Amino acid sequence: MKILILGYKGMLGHELVKEFENGHELILWDRDQIDISRKEEVIEKVSKLCPDIVINAAAYTAVDEAEHNKNLAYKVNGCAVGFLATVCKEIDALFIHFSTDYVFDGENHNGYKENHSYNPINMYGKSKALGEKMIFDISSKYYIIRTSWLFGKNGKNFVETMLRLAKEKKDIRVVNDQFGSPTYAKDLASEVRKLVESQNQSGIYHITNSETCSWYDFAVKIFELSNLNLKVKPIKTEEFPTPAKRPIYSMLINTKLPPMRKWEEALKSYLIETGRRKL
Ligand SMILES: NC(=O)c1ccc[n+]([C@@H]2O[C@H](COP(=O)([O-])OP(=O)(O)OC[C@H]3O[C@@H](n4cnc5c(N)ncnc54)[C@H](OP(=O)(O)O)[C@@H]3O)[C@@H](O)[C@H]2O)c1
């Protein structure tokens, strides 16, 4: 199949390339090849290419900056998704798009099923919810894949931030009252391939590593598995104010697909693969 991957230089894009490069004709575009927020460019370039599948891993992902850069976040995460959905419909391509736990308010202690209604509490979440709505309005052949707390080899993420802080500090404070499911981008990419091969029906899918934790639990596990001796102090959200409010309980409940491995196992693999932990 001819597969166009957008945002291939990003954290998830990088893993998608590795996952799909065998057995498919891949076309890899990032900001240098296309600006997905320009309608004419998107329609012209993608329809000329005419892929079977368009996988959109391009996004505006700066959650705190989005509070001040609302227009840009809406353009890239909202309107651009509408342009991609439109061209995919024109050329009859399957459209695969990624979304986030941040489309929910995080008030629900039990987590969120695929059909739960949106109530984003920050600009990034609002812009991603707009992108999803565009797809519902336009597309008939699509997968919207919501994921959370991504970590991977090719991008800024919590694991890398913790490992950097471990070199600079003797003790750190980490929020212990926000809960979610850390997800290894490589595991997610592998599930995306399975989903494509399964030819499941169009709709929303929740794909994360299994089980949940707080950011504090996640940090403690990172240091434990990397054999780093660092004091981690649990703190409350109010003690670590950020421009964008975060959902408290953002567990994505998956009712459609087999569960992925636990986040601790995925983290262990990541640390081994990046040379931070011996086998
Ligand atoms: N990271 C997470 O924790 C997380 C959690 C839940 C869901 N997600 C979703 O998962 C997907 C992938 O996230 P990620 O963390 O892998 O993203 P990422 O590392 O930030 O990569 C996004 C890529 O998109 C490119 N891009 C941005 N604006 C563009 C535009 N207008 N035209 C073309 N390319 C553009 C970026 O280029 P520049 O670097 O030049 O801007 C970058 O290469 C996104 O949809 C995100 O919302 C992520």
Q: How far is the CA of 27 from the centre of ligand 1 (A)?
A: 17
pLDDT, tens digit, 9 for 90 and up, residues 224-243: 999 998 999 999 999 999 99
Residue type, 122: N
Torsion, Cα 194 197 198 202, to 10 degrees, reads 100
Asked if the model's pLDDT at residue 279 lies above 90, the reply is: no
- pLDDT, residue 217, reads 98
* Boundaries of every domain in the chain: 2-156+183-210+252-260
Q: How far is the CA of 125 from the centre of ligand 1 (A)?
A: 14
Looking at the chain, the whole-number percentage of residues with pLDDT higher than 70 is 100
Which of the four pLDDT bands, split at 50, 70 and 90, describes residue 72?
very high
Which of the four pLDDT bands, split at 50, 70 and 90, describes residue 51?
very high
Counting atoms of ligand 1 from 1, which one is nearest the CA of 12?
16
| 2-156+183-210+252-260: CATH class | alpha beta
- Report the chain's mean pLDDT, rounded to a whole number: 97
- pLDDT, residue 90, reads 98
pLDDT, tens digit, 9 for 90 and up, residues 11-45: 999 999 999 999 999 999 999 999 999 999 999 99
Asked if the model's pLDDT at residue 277 lies above 90, the reply is: no
Mutate to test the pocket of ligand 1, among 12, 45, 192 (most ligand atoms within 8 A of CB): 12
- pLDDT, residue 60, reads 98
Q: How far is the CA of 15 from the centre of ligand 1 (A)?
A: 13
pTM of the model: 0.97
pLDDT, tens digit, 9 for 90 and up, residues 140-192: 999 999 999 999 998 999 999 999 999 999 899 999 999 999 999 999 999 99
pLDDT, tens digit, 9 for 90 and up, residues 85-112: 999 999 999 999 999 999 999 999 999 9
Confirm if 8 and 16 have CB atoms less than 8 A apart. yes
Beta-carbon contacts of residue 275 (< 8 Å; ≥ 6 apart)? none
Look at the block and give the residue holding tokens 């391509």.
93
Phi, psi of 2 (to 5 degrees): -90, 115
Q: Does 104 contact ligand 1 (Cβ within 6 A)?
A: no
Active site residue 60: no
Q: Does 35 contact ligand 1 (Cβ within 6 A)?
A: yes
Q: Which of 112, 124, 143, 184 is catalytic?
A: 124
